[in-house]
Amino acid sequence: MNQNSMCYWWPRIKNLGIPVPRTVITSLEVTAVCDAAEQIGYPVFLRTDLCSGKHDWKSSCYVSDSSKVIGNLAKVIESNVRWQMLGIEPMAAIIREFLDLETSFTAFIGDMPINKERRYFVRGKEVLCGHPYWPETTFNNHPARMANDPEWESKLAKLNKVDSSERVLTEYAATVGAAMGGFWSVDFAKAKNGQWYLLDMALGENSYHWPNCERRVDAHK
């Protein structure tokens, strides 16, 4: 199994005592997705085990009600084309609790919410580094990625500012790394109630790493 697949890493980290959204893994059939969404409760976050097509947001991963399932599921499956070009097919649909995150503005063609998020890199139980998820260059290098707010730069700077609540993320990242072994990126997001949630993971070598990080070279050894 591709280790980037949520079917691989989710069973290994879901019971570590780290906050995670309620999650149902099911088949890619429409009926199964609808049943799981009803179980979680709308709105839901929809993805495959490989990706979510989140930049298209309203037409992909964000499912507000049952009338959106068929169209959004098709768009999410379509977003797996990068993996399919590598000969890797999605194995499952993932339906997740929609979290009320600390959002500052929206961006991309799907009006995706830009939240207070962090990415940590771990090698085994060693935490190599942690970074804001969204670098400024995400929103100023391509017309399709523009932020939908004239004050996005100052809002992003505020989102990316480290606060005292983040101290727990080093502990969470170390716990995940110890359970998984190997080199991983681990993504967290902060809810409006102050709680940090583990949202996603991937093999470290397949994950964006801030180019000016002094641990970037070490991470790839």
Domains of the chain, each with CATH number or no CATH = 22-98 (3.30.1490.20), 100-221 (3.30.470)
pLDDT value of residue 30 = 98
pLDDT by 10s per residue, the chain, length 221: 899 999 999 999 999 999 999 999 999 999 999 999 999 999 999 999 999 999 999 999 999 999 999 999 999 999 998 888 888 999 999 999 999 999 999 999 899 999 999 999 999 999 999 999 999 888 876 666 788 899 999 999 999 999 999 999 999 999 999 999 999 999 999 999 999 999 999 999 999 998 888 877 555 55
Contacts of 132 (CB under 8 A, 6+ apart): 117, 118, 119, 159, 160
23 vs 128: CA distance, rounded Å = 28
C-alpha neighbours within 13 Å on the C-beta side of residue 158: 11
Tell me the backbone φ, ψ of residue 9, rounded to 5 degrees. -90, -30
144 vs 65: CA distance, rounded Å = 26
192 vs 102: CA distance, rounded Å = 5
Q: What strands, in cross-sheet order, belong to the sheet with 196-203?
A: 126-132, 117-123, 183-190, 196-203
pLDDT value of residue 197 = 98
pLDDT value of residue 141 = 67
